[in-house]
Structure 1
Amino acid sequence: MTDTAACSPTSPTSLDPADPAAWEDFRAQAHRMLDDMIGHLRTLREQPVWRPIPEALRARWREPLPAQPVPVAELHRRFMAEVLPHAVGNAHPRFMGWVQGGGTLEGLLAEMLAAGLNANVGGRDQMPLEVERQVVHWMRELFDFPDTASGLLVTGSSTANLIGVLVARTRALGVDSRRDGLGADGLRLVAYTSAAAHGCVAQAMAIAGLGSAALRRVPVDADHRIEVAALRRMLAADRAAGLQPFLVVGTAGTVDVGAIDDLEALADLCAAERLWFHVDGAFGALARLSPRLAPRLAGIERADSLALDFHKWGQVPYDAGFVLVRDQAAQLAAFASPAAYLARHPRGLAAGSPWPCDLGPDLSRGFRALKVWFTVMAHGRERLGAAIAENCRLARRLAERVEADPRLALLAPVALNIVCLRYVGAAADPADGPRLDEAALDALNAELVADLHESGVAAPSTTMIGGRTAVRVALVNHRTVEADLDLLLEALHHFGQLRLRQARVSGAGLPILSDESSR
Structure 2
Amino acid sequence: MISSPDPNSVFSEDIIEQTLDPENWEDLKSLGHQMLDDMFDFLQNVRERPVWQPVPAEVKQKLKAPLPLAAEAAGDVYEEFKELILPYPTGNIHPRFWGWVMGTGSPYAMLADMLASGMNSHVAGYDQSAAYVEEQVIRWLAELLGFPATSSGVLASGGTVANLLGLAVARNVKAGFDVRAEGLQQPAVTRAELVVYCSTETHSWAQKAVELMGLGDKSLKRISVDALYKINLAELEETIRRDKAQGKNPICVIGNAGTVNTGAIDDLEGLARICRQEGLWFHVDGAIGALVKLTPSQAGLVSGLELADSLAFDLHKWLYMPYEAGCILVRDRTAHQSAFSITPSYLTALNRGIAAQPLEFAARGVDLSRSFKALKIWFSLKVHGIDLFGQLIEQNIRQAAYLKQLIEQEHLLELLAPVELSIVCFRFNPSSQESLDAQLLDRLNQEILLRLQESGKAVPSGTRIQGRFAIRVAITNHRSRKEDFELLCQLVVNYGQELLADSKFLEEGNG
**What TM-score comes out, normalization by structure 1 length?**
0.93
Q: Aligned AA for 1:225?
A: K
Structure 2 CA distance for aligned equivalents of residues 211 and 428 of structure 1: 44
Select between 298-307 and 490-499 the one with higher mean Cα deviation. Answer: 490-499
Question: Which structure 1 segments of 5+ residues have no match?
Answer: 1-9, 513-519
Residue aligning to 1:245: 250
* Deviation per residue, 1:185-220 (Å, 9 max, x gap): 623100000100000011101101111110000000
Q: What is aligned with 2:124?
A: 122
Whether 2:421 is the aligned partner of 1:416: answer yes
| Alignment correspondent of 1:296 | 301
Is this contact kept in 2: 1:436–1:511, CA < 8 A?
no
Tell me how far apart the structure 2 counterparts of residues 385 and 273 of structure 1 sit (CA, whole Å). Answer: 35
Measured after TM superposition, the shift of residue 142 of structure 1 is 1.0
Partner deviation per Cα, 1:249-304 (whole Å, 9 max, x = no partner): 00001000000000000000001111000000002001111011111111110100
1:383 aligns with 2:399: no
Deviation at 1:346, TM superposition (A): 3.0
Query: Is 1:511 paired with 2:505?
Result: no
Where 1:463 maps in the other structure, the secondary structure is: strand
Is the aligned partner of 1:109 residue 2:111?
A: yes
Structure 2 matches for 1:105-504, cutoff 5 A? 105-173=107-175, 176-182=178-184, 183-184=186-187, 186-353=191-358, 355-424=360-429, 427-430=430-433, 435-503=435-503
Question: Matches of 2:54 and 2:385 in 1, distance apart?
Answer: 37
| CA–CA separation in structure 2 for the residues paired with 1:448 and 1:300 | 37
The CA distance in 2 between the partners of 1:458 and 1:340, in whole Å, is 54
CA–CA separation in structure 1 for the residues paired with 2:154 and 2:489: 41
1:458/1:488 contact within 8 Å kept = yes
Structure 1 residue 65 and structure 2 residue 67: aligned? yes
CA contact (8 A) 2:413 2:427 kept: yes
Post-superposition shift, 1:12?
3.2
Shift in Å at residue 507 of structure 1?
A: 5.2
SS class of match (1:406): coil
Aligned length: 494
* Pairwise CA distance, 1:352: 2.1
Separation in structure 2 between the aligned mates of residue 93 and residue 27 of structure 1, nearest angstrom: 32
Mean Cα deviation higher: 68-77 or 271-280: 68-77
AA aligned to 1:492 is V
Q: Is the 8 A contact 1:248 1:276 kept in 2?
A: yes
Note closer, same or farther for the CA distance 1:138–1:507 as it changes in structure 2 (3 Å cut).
closer
What is the distance in 1 between the residues matched to 2:283 and 2:183?
Answer: 23
1:84 to partner: Cα distance: 1.6
Structure 2 gap ranges (5+): 1-14
CA contact (8 A) 1:153 1:321 kept: yes
Q: Which one of 81, 92, 95 corresponds to residue 93 of structure 1? A: 95
Whole-Å Cα distance in 1 between the matches of residues 454 and 352 of structure 2? 59
Cα distance in 2 between the residues matched to 1:411 and 1:191: 29
Partner AA of 2:347 in structure 1 = L
Moved more, 79-88 or 453-462: 79-88
Counterpart amino acid of residue 49 in structure 1: V
**Equivalent residue, structure 1, for 2:11:** none
- Distance in 1, matches of 2:351 and 2:173, equals 29
Provide the alpha-carbon RMSD of the alignment.
1.5
Paired with 2:160 and 2:150, the residues of 1 have a C-alpha distance of 24
Instruction: Specify whether residues 294 and 228 from structure 1 end up closer, same or farther in structure 2 by C-alpha distance, changes over 3 A only.
Output: same
TM-score calculated relative to the size of structure 2: 0.94
- Distance in 1 (CA, whole Å) between partners of 2:494 and 2:406 is 16
Distance in 1 (alpha carbons) for counterparts of 2:435 and 2:243: 48
Kindly state the Cα deviation for residue 237 of structure 1 after the two structures are TM-superposed. 1.3
CA distance in 2, matches of 1:329, 1:112: 34
